[in-house]
């Protein structure tokens, strides 16, 4: 499939703002389908008779291994083909597999369905971030990708509410159907109403239509030290963030003796709603500060990671549910900014037809180690601490994750040292 030559300002309906809105909605469905499982863990555990370790595998490495691995070849396809078509197909696939999750009769059936979700979602972020980078210039790109990243928060919000309230009235199986089926309709809307942007037009860069080989792209990325330090810093945050995301609903239900519907709206508004606002506002702030110095890209994430630490610790020590929500406000507000700036960096630090691959490479590492490792490690640690007699094994496991946030600050400060130099080097590449 070949790429269209439409202007960056054009789309069949409403120009680039419409395209960004549709891509953000697609990313929202990506996270509805991914996160709805989290609010339903406790009733699923009870019905299917599974352990925390099995849940960790289900929400972590089983999904992440497929998602991360397939992202690389799909990104290579996106750097050469029509990104809109790839994204439409991916959305229809992950939405259908989410609906099928509601038919699971055993742990293994549910595991297979979630692997199917991972296969579909592997084709989501690389083509979308590449399209956005062809619609928004560098001076506004972190803001645009912040809006796109808000889809994570909106998806968490909607997923928690759908999961909590549909479960309360109809059970967890119906919740998967309600979450999955609308995405198939959105895939059709995306295919029919969004055009493929012209690569590089917004930056007035020439695209000769050929992409670098995988080897050339990897060698270039490995020569960008700021990219590698940024990746390490975001990787450490991602492990901790996804551990908390996956296990916070269970932590609250076990600690304060509440059910899924009791925490669905407050937790959804905190992690999803407040997180979305934070991603957009901090993305705008990042763009403004980066006009003077592009090193503000990693500096912003480092500051947020350091700020989140004491609040996350106090969240785990809270004596009441209300206090837990209060302490979680700051980590929720700043919790998504690392992802939007990581996507921004993956587009700025490589050549035009390396962008989807760079995004997928970043996503591969964040997913396999972060999304795969965080929930899995905490689930296994919880089982170990529980067997050792710890009265709150899940809380103890989550506390250990905060060490990673502290280490991330050092890596991000190293990224800032060469960020501007590496952006200039990437600008010379096609």
pLDDT digits (tens, 9 = 90+) for 77-115: 877 778 899 999 999 999 999 999 989 888 899 998 988
Tokens of residue 290, six digits = 């980066």
Q: Tell me: pLDDT of 257 over 70.
A: yes
Q: What is the DSSP letter of 270?
A: I
Q: Would you tell me the crossing angle of helices 15-39 and 260-267 to the nearest 10 degrees?
A: 150
Q: Is the dihedral of CA 135, 415, 155, 355 positive or negative?
A: positive
Specify if 397 maps to a domain.
Answer: yes
Specify if 187 maps to a domain.
Answer: yes
Q: What is the pLDDT of residue 204?
A: 55
| DSSP string for 126-139 | HHHHHHHHTTS-HH
Domain that holds residue 112: 15-196+213-426
Q: Tell me: pLDDT of 46 over 90.
A: no
Give the burial string for 153-180 (b: 16+ CB within 10 Å, else e).
Answer: bbbbbbbbbbbbbbbeeeebbebbbbbb
Q: What is the pLDDT of residue 23?
A: 94
Specify if 333 maps to a domain.
Answer: yes
Cβ atoms within 10 Å, residue 198: 17
The rounded distance, in Å, linking the Cα atoms of 45 and 23 is 33
Percent of the chain with pLDDT over 70: 93
Strand, coil or helix: what is 6? strand
The rounded distance, in Å, linking the Cα atoms of 164 and 82 is 37
Domain count, the chain: 1
Cβ pair 301, 341 in contact under 8 A = yes
With vertex at residue 35, the alpha carbon angle to CA 31 and CA 38, rounded to the nearest 5 degrees, is 175
CATH number, residue 222: 1.20.1250.20
Q: What is the pLDDT of residue 206?
A: 54
Q: Tell me: pLDDT of 5 over 80.
A: no
Specify if 207 maps to a domain.
Answer: no
Q: Tell me: pLDDT of 319 over 60.
A: yes
Specify if 281 maps to a domain.
Answer: yes
Q: Tell me: pLDDT of 376 over 90.
A: no
Give the model confidence (pLDDT) of 386-424 as tens digits: 999 999 999 999 999 999 999 999 999 999 999 999 988
Q: Is the dihedral of CA 62, 66, 69, 75 positive or negative?
A: negative
The rounded distance, in Å, linking the Cα atoms of 183 and 189 is 10
* Dihedral Cα 242, 314, 282, 421, nearest 10 deg: -70
Q: For tokens 């994430």, name the residue.
A: 301
Specify if 4 maps to a domain.
Answer: no
Specify if 1 maps to a domain.
Answer: no
Q: Tell me: pLDDT of 235 over 70.
A: yes
What average pLDDT score do residues 225-243 get?
Answer: 91
Q: Tell me: pLDDT of 170 over 60.
A: yes
Average pLDDT, the chain: 85
Specify if 362 maps to a domain.
Answer: yes
Cβ pair 173, 103 in contact under 8 A = yes
Q: What is the pLDDT of residue 149?
A: 82
Helix (H) or strand (E) segment spanning residue 156: helix 138-170
The rounded distance, in Å, linking the Cα atoms of 248 and 328 is 10
More confident residue, 330 or 338: 330
Q: What is the pLDDT of residue 57?
A: 80
The pLDDT-based confidence of 201 (bands split at 50, 70, 90) is low
What average pLDDT score do residues 133-145 get?
Answer: 82
Look up the pTM and report it: 0.70
């Amino acid at each position: 499939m070949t790429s269209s030559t439409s202007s960056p300002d054009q789309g069949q309906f409403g120009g680039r703002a419409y395209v960004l809105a549709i891509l953000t909605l697609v990313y929202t469905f990506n996270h509805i389908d991914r996160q709805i499982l989290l609010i339903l863990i406790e009733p699923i555990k009870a019905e299917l008779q599974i352990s925390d370790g099995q849940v960790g595998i289900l929400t972590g490495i089983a999904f992440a291994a497929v998602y991360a691995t397939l992202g690389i070849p799909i990104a290579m396809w996106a750097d050469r083909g029509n990104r809109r078509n790839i994204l439409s197909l991916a959305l229809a696939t992950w939405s259908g597999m989410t609906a099928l999750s509601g038919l699971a009769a055993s742990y293994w059936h549910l595991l297979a369905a979630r692997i199917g979700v991972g296969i579909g979602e592997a084709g989501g972020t690389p083509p979308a971030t590449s399209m956005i980078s062809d619609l928004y210039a560098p001076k506004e790109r972190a803001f645009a990708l912040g809006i796109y990243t808000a889809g994570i928060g909106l998806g968490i919000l909607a997923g928690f509410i759908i999961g909590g309230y549909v479960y309360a009235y109809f059970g967890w199986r119906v919740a998967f159907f309600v979450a999955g089926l609308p995405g198939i309709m959105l895939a059709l809307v995306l295919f029919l109403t969004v055009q493929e942007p012209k690569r590089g037009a917004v930056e007035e860069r020439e695209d000769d239509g050929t992409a670098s080989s995988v080897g050339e792209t990897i060698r270039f990325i490995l020569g960008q030290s700021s990219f590698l330090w940024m990746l390490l810093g975001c990787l450490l945050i991602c492990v901790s963030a996804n551990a908390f995301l996956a296990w916070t609903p269970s932590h609250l239900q076990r600690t304060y003796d509440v059910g899924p519907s009791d925490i669905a709206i407050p937790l959804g508004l905190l992690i999803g709603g407040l997180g979305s606002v934070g991603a957009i506002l901090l993305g705008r702030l990042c763009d403004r500060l980066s006009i003077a110095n592009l090193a503000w890209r990693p500096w912003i994430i480092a500051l947020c990671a350091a700020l989140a630490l004491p609040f996350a610790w106090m969240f785990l020590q809270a004596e009441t549910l209300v206090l837990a929500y209060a302490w979680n406000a700051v980590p929720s507000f700043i919790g998504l900014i690392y992802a939007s700036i990581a996507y921004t960096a993956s587009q700025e630090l490589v050549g035009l037809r390396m962008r989807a691959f760079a995004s997928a490479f970043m996503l591969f590492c964040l997913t396999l180690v972060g999304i795969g490792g965080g929930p899995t490690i905490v689930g296994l640690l919880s089982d170990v601490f529980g067997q050792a007699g710890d009265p709150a094994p899940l809380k103890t496991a989550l506390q250990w994750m905060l060490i990673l946030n502290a280490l991330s600050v050092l890596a991000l400060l190293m990224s800032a040292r060469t960020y501007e130099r590496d952006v200039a080097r990437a600008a010379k590449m096609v």
